[in-house]
A and B are shown apart, each in its own frame.
Chain A
C-alpha cells in the first residue's frame, strides 16, 4: 500500500499522471501552473521511457500531444485559461480523430488576459466544446488533493476507453493547496492492452490513416453519428457527483471544485443554525450529473448555484431541473474568492425569504 504524502495540488496531478502511465508531456510556461510543468520535466527526466518537451507555444504543445497520442503514448498537456484557448483547435482535432489525451486547465480570471487568481471562468469553454465542430470533451472537476490524484488516473482511463480528450478543470488555489494524498500504485505501461488504431508501422498489414478531413458529407455524417453514439454512452456511464447532507435538506447548494469546498464550509455553518441545507457537488461537469438533481427536485424547492464566475454551470442546473424549483445564483468573478461566511449569509437570506424554516 502507498502511504500518505503531503503534496501541492499541481504536483499531485503530475505524480498521478506518471503513475497512470503518462509518458509524454508537452507544455508552455504560463502562470499559475508552472509547478505542474516543472514536475513533469523532472519526472520524465527520471524515467528512461518518458518524454518532456517545452514547446515554442501552446499550439505546438497540443499538436505534439496529438502526435504522441497517435503514436500510442499516454499523453498530457497543461495550461491556464488563455493558453487553453490557444489549444482549442487541437482539442477539436483530438475529438474528431478520436485520440485520447489529457488536458489540465488551471483556470484564472478572464476574459482576455485577465489575471492569475483562482477562477471558474472557463466552464462554458470546457463543457460546450471550446473549439469548433460538433463534439464534446469529458470534463472532471476535482475538489481536493486526493481527488486531483484519483481523477488524473480516471482521466487517462477514460481518455483511452472512450478515445477522447479529457479535461481536468482546476484553479490556482487547488494547484497551490497542500494536502495529504495516497497515490494509487503505478501502472506498468507494458501491461496496457495494445491499441488497434495507432500508427506504429504497417509491416504485414494495411496502413492506418488518422485524419479529420472528410470532404464527402456522408462520411462526415458517419463520424458525427459515431461520436454522438459515443457521447450517449459516456453520458450514461460516467456522471459523478457528491451529495453532502442532502437527505433531509429543503435547500440545496450546487458548486464544484474550489467553490464546492467553500460551499461545504457554508453548509456546515448554516446546519449549526438549524437550517436544513445540503450540497450537491458535480465531479463530472460533462457529462453533467442530471439524475441526482432531478431526484432532489422531488422534495426540494430552492436551489442555490455558487460559482466563481457570473453564472455558467447554472445553465446545466436549470437543464437538469427541467423547470422544477427556484434556481438562485451567487457568484464572484475576476479571481475573487468568497468566504464560507459570505455564502452562509446568502443561504440564510434565501432560506428565510422563502420561509423554509416553516417546512
Chain B
C-alpha cells in the first residue's frame, strides 16, 4: 500500500497480529486520502476499547475521551466548528452498550458526523466478555451459560429511526470498506458505518472465515432510498448483507438548524463578539 498523508510512520500498534482493526485502519486512511481531506481539517473522536485506540494511529487531530461518549464529544466539536470533518469511532461495546443512548439521539439530531463502529461482537480490551452484538449462546468466562439476550441490530435500529446514512462493511474486504467509508464521510448528516471485524483472541465463533461465509453484498438493484426495503434487508434471517442499506438525503443537518450558522458558516472561535448587539441583549434583560 502506498504511503498516505495520514500515516504515522513507524509506530507501535497495540493490537494482536491478525486483528481486523488493521484492515479498518488501512481502509480509513486510504478513504481519507482519496477524499483529498486535509489532516488539519479532520478530527477523529473515540472512547474506550480496542477500536477506540485507532485514532492514535492516524496522523490527524485526535480526541480520545470517555467510554461511550465519543458521539456527544464529536457533536460538540462539529457544532463549534462545522469546517471540520468529524469522525466518531469506536467498538460495539463503546457505541451500542455504554454509549447506546447517545447513538439513538445522534440519529435523531443528525449532526454531520461519521460514526464508524468496529463490530467484533465481543469486549476485547477487557479480555472477552459478551458485547451488545454477541450472538445468542456465545459463551465467555462471564456468560457462563451463553448469551441469552438478542444481539443489538444497529442497522435496523438506525433505519427504523430514519438515520440519514446506514451501511455495513466487513474488514476482510478492505476495498469495499474503504468505498463505504468514503461515501459515509461525503454524506451530509449522521452516517453509520458498522464494520464487522474478527477478533483473533476473544471471539472464536465469529472468525474471519465465519464472516466470509456469513456475509454478502446487497445487490446493485437494492435501492437505498427505499426505507421499507432497507429495513427488510436489515432484519432478514441468515447471512448478513453488506453495503449501503439506506440513505435519506432530505433530512436537515443539525448544524444547519443552529441559528449561529443561518447566515454564516464561520466557526465560533473565529468570530468577533458584536459588543453592541450584546449590550442590547443585556439591556433587554435588565429590570426597571
Contacts and interface: CB of A to CB of B under 8 A. Distances in A.
B222 interface: no
Nearest to B98: A57
Interface stretch (A7-15, A38-46, A95-103): A38-46
Contacts of A42: 141, 144
A29 B129 contact: yes
A180 B163 CA distance: 56
Most buried by B among A29, A45, A54: A29
Contacts of A113: 48, 66-67
B126 interface: yes
Interface in B82-129: 93, 97-98, 100, 123, 125-127, 129
Contact of A56 (B48, B100, B144): B100
A48 to B, nearest CB: 13
Contact of A30 (B126, B130, B143): B126
A28 interface: yes
Contact of A34 (B100, B129, B130, B132): B129
B120 to A, nearest CB: 14
A56 B132 contact: yes
Contacts of A31: 125-127
A82 B48 CA distance: 11
- Please classify the interface of chain B as helix (H, G, I), strand (E, B), loop, or mixed, using the class held by over half of its residues: loop
A82 B67 CA distance: 9
B98 to A, nearest CB: 5
A30 B97 CA distance: 13
B224 interface: no
B162 to A, nearest CB: 23
B143 A29 contact: no
Contacts of B48: 113
Number of chain A interface residues as a range: 10 to 19
A127 interface: no
B145 interface: yes
B97 A56 contact: yes
B142 interface: yes
B66 A41 contact: no
Interface in A1-44: 28-31, 34, 37-38, 41-42
B142 A38 contact: yes
B68 interface: yes
Nearest to A35: B141
Contacts of A38: 141-142
Contacts of B68: 57
Interface residues of B, number: 20
A30 B143 CA distance: 15
A82 B66 contact: yes
B100 A41 contact: no
A339 to B, nearest CB: 28
Contacts of B98: 28, 56-58
A143 to B, nearest CB: 26
Interface string A110-125: 0001000000000000
A41 B143 contact: yes
Nearest to B68: A57
Nearest to A56: B97
B144 A34 contact: no
Interface string B138-153: 0001111100000000
Nearest to B145: A45
B157 to A, nearest CB: 14
B131 to A, nearest CB: 9
A58 B126 CA distance: 14
B54 to A, nearest CB: 16
Nearest to B67: A82
Nearest to A53: B149
Interface of A: 28-31, 34, 37-38, 41-42, 45, 54, 56-58, 82, 113
Given A54-B130, A113-B67, 7 more contacts: A28-B98, A29-B126, A34-B126, A34-B129, A34-B142, A41-B141, A57-B98
29 contacts: A28-B97, A28-B98, A29-B93, A29-B126, A29-B129, A29-B142, A30-B126, A31-B126, A31-B127, A34-B127, A34-B129, A34-B142, A37-B142, A38-B141, A41-B141, A41-B142, A41-B144, A54-B129, A54-B130, A54-B142, A54-B143, A56-B97, A56-B98, A56-B100, A57-B98, A58-B98, A82-B66, A113-B48, A113-B67
3 tightest CB-CB pairs across the interface, nearest first?
A29-B126, A45-B144, A41-B142
